[in-house]
Amino acid sequence: MDRWLTSSARRDGGEGNNRTHLWVDCETQELLGYFTLAPAVITDNPFTGQTRPAILLAKLAIAEHLRGQEPKQGHALLYEAFRVALEAADLVGGRYLVVDPQSDALVPYYEDLGFELAEGDADQGLRMLLKMSAVRRAFQEQAGS
């Protein structure tokens, strides 16, 4: 979890490429997880080149000792990412939240959250989308429970 943070997060954030948000235990100062958001554009129609603004959830990591715990700690971090992505979309626009799962094994996790596989751009690899309206509903439901 720490390797990317120490090698790239500060540089990329300083260059304005993205923003990384840390989840830190207030008492112990232990890093529990982080997420990184970046501006993105998705191509709606590869024939016309029509694009839509999006927010990319570029990184999502949780400390190994928290994985698989109930309640799912990763969900808490993900919903914080939803909250920040919604704020960003409200400020600058963004029709979709985008994830690029690192493996096929992660696809069901994101599908359970409402993400759908994107069609098209083979250069992007594995890409999934969730409309911001669905992100807003999911966040509001989570906040209400």
Q: One digit per residue, pLDDT tens: the chain, 145 residues?
A: 567 666 766 666 666 678 888 999 899 999 899 999 999 998 877 677 788 999 999 999 888 888 877 667 677 888 999 999 999 999 999 999 999 998 899 999 899 989 999 876 555 678 999 999 999 998 888 877 6
Which pTM value belongs to this model?
0.84
pLDDT of residue 9: 65
Q: Are 139 and 79 in contact (CB under 8 A)?
A: yes
- Domains (ranges, CATH) in the chain? 2-144 (3.40.630.30)
pLDDT of residue 16: 65
pLDDT of residue 92: 93
Q: What is the DSSP letter of 145?
A: -
pLDDT of residue 85: 96
pLDDT of residue 111: 93
CA distance 125 to 118: 10
Q: What is the DSSP letter of 91?
A: H
What region, left, alpha or beta, does residue 35 occupy, with left being phi > 0 and alpha being psi -120 to 50 degrees? beta
pLDDT of residue 47: 75
pLDDT of residue 10: 63
Q: Are 46 and 32 in contact (CB under 8 A)?
A: no
CA distance 111 to 80: 18
